[in-house]
Amino acid sequence: MSYTGQCNCGAVNAKIEGEPVAVRQCWCRQCQKAAAGSATTNAMFPTEAITFHGALGSWSYEAASGNTLTQSFCANCGTPVMGQSSARPQFRTLRVGFLDQAQGLKPQVIIWTDDAPEWAVIDPELPTFARQPPPPPSQG
């Protein structure tokens, strides 16, 4: 399987080879701002599987874990594109909204539910983590 992604204005696009290693929904406060009030839904792919074209803007901050998180977005239209952690340079977490093929990329885990507003709809079928979950399995 391969995936493609594009921002709202078309200035940034991407091609991704293979399947995500994890799909997660995140309710942390930074994600609520990136997603305009809701959670972000993120598909984590190996870094080398992704090819980008176009100008990304980025913003970095130190997370509660002490790791540096970098959020990237289209420099022109602001569409959220991905996040990455200094602790896991081998992965990029692409925003599912950026991808052209959202079908099949259902979240498997919901994280940072401690920060979710009381009106958040959280799938009772899915495992949840109140805060940061353990890292995903290593892919060698």
Judged by the rule CB under 5 A, the positions of this chain that interact with Zn ion are 7, 9, 11, 26, 28, 31, 74, 76-77
Q: 99: closest CA among 25, 14, 33?
A: 14
Task: Let me know: does 105 contact 99? Beta carbons within 8 Å.
Answer: yes
What minimum distance in Å lies between the beta carbon of 86 and Zn ion?
15
Q: Is 52 helix (H, G, I), strand (E, B) or coil?
A: strand
CB-wise, 33 or 106, nearer to Zn ion?
33
Alpha helices in the chain (DSSP H): 29-34
* Structure-token match 């942390």, residue found: 28
CB-wise, 48 or 122, nearer to Zn ion?
122
CB-wise, 9 or 130, nearer to Zn ion?
9
18 to 21, 43, 90: CA distances (angstroms): 9, 12, 15
CB-wise, 26 or 94, nearer to Zn ion?
26
What minimum distance in Å lies between the beta carbon of 25 and Zn ion?
9
What minimum distance in Å lies between the beta carbon of 34 and Zn ion?
8
Alpha-carbon 57 to chain mean position: 15
What minimum distance in Å lies between the beta carbon of 28 and Zn ion?
3
Q: 112: closest CA among 27, 22, 24?
A: 27
CB-wise, 101 or 132, nearer to Zn ion?
132
What minimum distance in Å lies between the beta carbon of 26 and Zn ion?
3
